[in-house]
Amino acid sequence: MPYIHVGEENSGSIELYYEDHGTGTPVVLIHGWPLSSASWERQVQPLLNAGYRVVSYDRRGFGHSSRPTVGYDYDSFALDLHHLLTKLDLRQAALVGFSMGGGEVVRYLGRYGSERVRKAVLISAVPPCLLKGDDNPDGVELNVFDGIRKAISTDRPAFLSGFLADFFNVDQLGGKRVSSQAIQYSWNNAVGASPRGTYDCVAAWGTDFRQDLAKINIPTLVIHGDADRILPISATGVRSHQLIRGSHLVVVGGGPHGIIWTHAENVNHELLQFLAAA
């Protein structure tokens, strides 16, 4: 399996697992919490069939990557992505981030610019700023994040089961757009992640990306479901679209948080159309 070295913790090396397939213009897929790059299953083949080079990787602490106890913040995540793009010498790449992965895309562009990147896609993404504050009155109270951390530390497997029910809007879409086996597959993926990484990532959700969004100077597509229970569109997708100059917003009607699975056809159509545009 291929790995990228991104740092050390005590005597151990921190390595990111990645996959690199196909030829053509590179598309880098950045997964959401608490999953791994395996969650892009329904996008990889259509992208390869369309002639793109598809690079996906597991965030530190998730999937096949190393499981350190440090670095679960967006500055570290963006640096990890920078290491990947530099090591593979990717140029004219499209960065596609889902959920928490959208934060990597935005923080990377805010910190490292668009020299290597031609387009950006944010799907069900966490920016611009979830944490409530004086200048962000519509955000989420800190005690909500505290409650999530408590639930993870008390019974992580049980928490993940409930989380995925809302992730896919199972009460409405179960057996229709998402099978019980697909939900189980996602749970298996999530429960295999680092417990410390799963817990520590919650604090990163409060990151303020507004200054990063203002720096984005490349074509950007925002895709979000209007039935997202994890990251409601009014607090995330709509606001990110408003803050990114010239961005395009696509609203997936009835789409839950996990639209890359439940509404893969819609997402793939919009993604491929956007990537192919001049």
- The answer to whether 122 and 95 are in contact (CB under 8 A) is no
Structure tokens at 1: 């399996």
207 Rama class: left (phi>0) / alpha (psi -120 to 50) / beta: beta
Please say if 228 is a catalytic residue: yes
Q: Is the peptide bond before 128 cis (omega within 30 degrees of 0)?
A: yes
Exactly one of 200, 228, 241, 247 is catalytic; which is it? 228
Exactly one of 66, 99, 124, 194 is catalytic; which is it? 99
Please say if 248 is a catalytic residue: no
Residue with tokens 């290491």: 83
Measured CA to CA, the distance from residue 28 to residue 75 in angstroms comes to 18
Listed in order, strand segments (DSSP E) in the chain are 3-9, 12-21, 26-30, 53-57, 93-98, 117-123, 220-225, 248-252
Which residues have a catalytic role annotated? Answer: 99, 228, 257
